[in-house]
Amino acid sequence: MKKLLSALAVSALLVLGAAASAQADDITVMLDNEAVEFDQQPIITDNRTLVPVRAVFEKAGALVEWDQASLVATITKGNYTIRISPDSDVMYKNGRSIALDVPAQIINNRILIPVRAISEAMDFKVTWNGYLTTVLISTDSVPYRAFAGVKRGFRDMRDIADLYIETDGKGFSDLDGDGSLETIEFKKMTENEGQDGVLVINGTDYTSALSHMASAGSVAAININNASTDRQLVVVENGDVNTAHFFTFDGSALTECEYSKPVSFSTRLLFDEKKYILSDLHGFLFTDIMVTGSYYEFNDNDFGYYRTGASVREIAPRTLTNVYDDGMLYRMIVTDKYDEGAYKNAATYEKVYSQTFETFNLLNIYVDDNDPSYFEFYIEMEDGTKAVIMPYTA
């Protein structure tokens, strides 16, 4: 046992050929969570997905130049210089040759290269979502995750926050979107009685806004909806299961957002940097698929809670191999006799993290029609042991 929940066994992370039956018109390419627009659609050749060079790299901020005399495309960004020629199975990165899975091609005056070459060219991270035929590209070397409901990539709260403090400290963020930075001071709170100075913004103590919280272990400032310039202040109440409380700040008042149920998580709270939020208590993750039973959507300083996931039953049986350590937490019950739907209230189980397994066979999936946030995955591990894995709840 080594690692858990991940990919179609297409290969390790970057062998990104689509299934031969996939249609090129169905392929979506997302770069840093934004869709790439093409005037020449990606194609599939020899089970490899090829995408137009100019559309992808220009969206990533690179300069793309074409020399008609030498038939060479040159891509430059920062310290990278990439040269590619059509019908060649080699590209050159800063003068060093890199073999391509399939040769570059010219179609409708556009040069196309295999998706894997995008990663190798500028050290981007590329994830193939085989279930939704979507390519997710991250330019900051942090892989995105696929999400079956909305075709978005998710990032950990710590990775996207303007400000993140989990010990006593001070930081800065433009909470109200007026162009100037607020000064945020935070100190951990273990008991709320008689404490002040837990949360201070621009010299004013807002600890009273946390009076309904028994503790406060961290604070973060995050722009959930990129359409606006203001941030949400996230204060995490600690416990066996953590609870994230979301606040807005208008320059003078700190107001907690309304939501349909607490946003609880055990180890990770994930954001798509738009408006969708996923707790590690509310889903199952794969490298090519994120199958979730529920998620939160943030609109107009308010939360909506949504359930999804019934269609995941269609993905079994299949072999899954871990290529991304997502740190998610699950309950596991070892059993040779699987009775679907019978394990939700089991009192005895083992807590396991995603790094527990490397490869397993997914034998069966159960989704509770009345509560689609509840899943059971019946799996066979590498040593032949069979078990049920389910969302962790305290």
Q: Which among 357, 306, 303, 354 has a CA at the least distance from the CA of 145?
A: 354
**156 within 8 A of 270, measured Cβ to Cβ:** yes
| DSSP track, 81-110 | EEEE-TT-SEEEETTEEEE-SS--EEETTE
Q: How far is CA 368 from CA 26, 53, 169, 374, in A?
A: 30, 44, 44, 6
Q: Residue 305's pLDDT is what?
A: 76
- How far is 355 from 351, CA to CA, in rounded Å? 12
Looking from the CA of 287 toward its CB, the CA atoms found within 13 Å total 30
* Lowest mean pLDDT segment, chosen from 102-106, 127-131, 305-309: 305-309
Q: Tokens 């406060």 label which residue?
A: 216
**340 within 8 A of 378, measured Cβ to Cβ:** yes
Res 36 pLDDT > 80: yes
- Predicted structure pTM score: 0.61
And the tokens for 246? 């979301």
Backbone angles phi, psi at 24, to 5 degrees: -60, -35
Q: Residue 278's pLDDT is what?
A: 82
Over the stretch 336-380, which tens digit does the pLDDT of each residue have? 999 999 998 898 999 988 778 777 888 988 877 777 667 888 999
Over the stretch 168-182, which tens digit does the pLDDT of each residue have? 899 999 999 888 999
Q: Residue 6's pLDDT is what?
A: 31
Confidence bin at 223 (pLDDT 50/70/90):
confident
Confidence bin at 53 (pLDDT 50/70/90):
very high
Confidence bin at 285 (pLDDT 50/70/90):
low
Q: Residue 14's pLDDT is what?
A: 23
Res 194 pLDDT > 90: no
Confidence bin at 183 (pLDDT 50/70/90):
very high
Over the stretch 57-70, which tens digit does the pLDDT of each residue have? 999 999 999 999 99
Q: Residue 276's pLDDT is what?
A: 80
Name the average pLDDT for the chain.
80
Res 84 pLDDT > 60: yes
**199 within 8 A of 219, measured Cβ to Cβ:** yes
177: alpha, beta or left, given left = phi > 0 and alpha = psi -120 to 50? left
Mean pLDDT of 249-278: 82
Res 260 pLDDT > 70: no
What CA dihedral angle connects 131, 314, 271 and 226, to 10 degrees?
A: 60
And the tokens for 68? 């008609």
Q: Which among 328, 259, 340, 332 has a CA at the least distance from the CA of 290?
A: 328
Res 43 pLDDT > 50: yes
Q: In terms of pLDDT, which residue wins out, 393 or 121?
A: 121
Q: How far is CA 232 from CA 157, 161, 267, in A?
A: 12, 10, 20
